[in-house]
């Protein structure tokens, strides 16, 4: 998984509002949806990102 600080910062700056995984994968990370899902799963495990409570496959920065 290509997950460096630059990628993380870019992703986190975009996820202030919920974004669909298709958009994250094609426009933000520019990797496959499968790869995007792995990255998001890691961020979820770290407690940084969560799936939106309102829509499936939409991800957003976890609110404190």
Give per-residue pLDDT as tens, 15-38.
999 999 999 999 999 999 999 999
Radius of gyration of the chain, Cα coordinates, nearest whole angstrom: 10
For CA atoms 40, 45, 46, 47, give the dihedral sign: positive
- Indicate whether 39 pLDDT > 80: yes
Specify the pLDDT at position 19: 97
Q: Which DSSP state fits 60? A: E
At 63, the pLDDT band (50, 70, 90 cuts) reads confident
CA 38, CA 58: separation in Å to the nearest integer?
A: 14
Backbone phi, then psi, for 14, in 5-degree steps? -85, -30
In the structure, what pLDDT confidence band is assigned to residue 5 with cuts at 50, 70 and 90? confident
Mean pLDDT over all residues of the chain?
92
């Amino acid at each position: 998984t290509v997950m460096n600080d630059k990628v993380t910062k870019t992703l986190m700056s975009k996820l202030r509002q919920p974004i669909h995984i298709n958009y994250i994968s094609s426009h933000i990370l520019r990797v496959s949806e499968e790869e995007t899902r792995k990255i998001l799963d890691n961020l979820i495990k770290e407690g940084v990102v969560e799936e939106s409570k309102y829509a499936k496959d939409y991800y957003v920065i976890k609110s404190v």
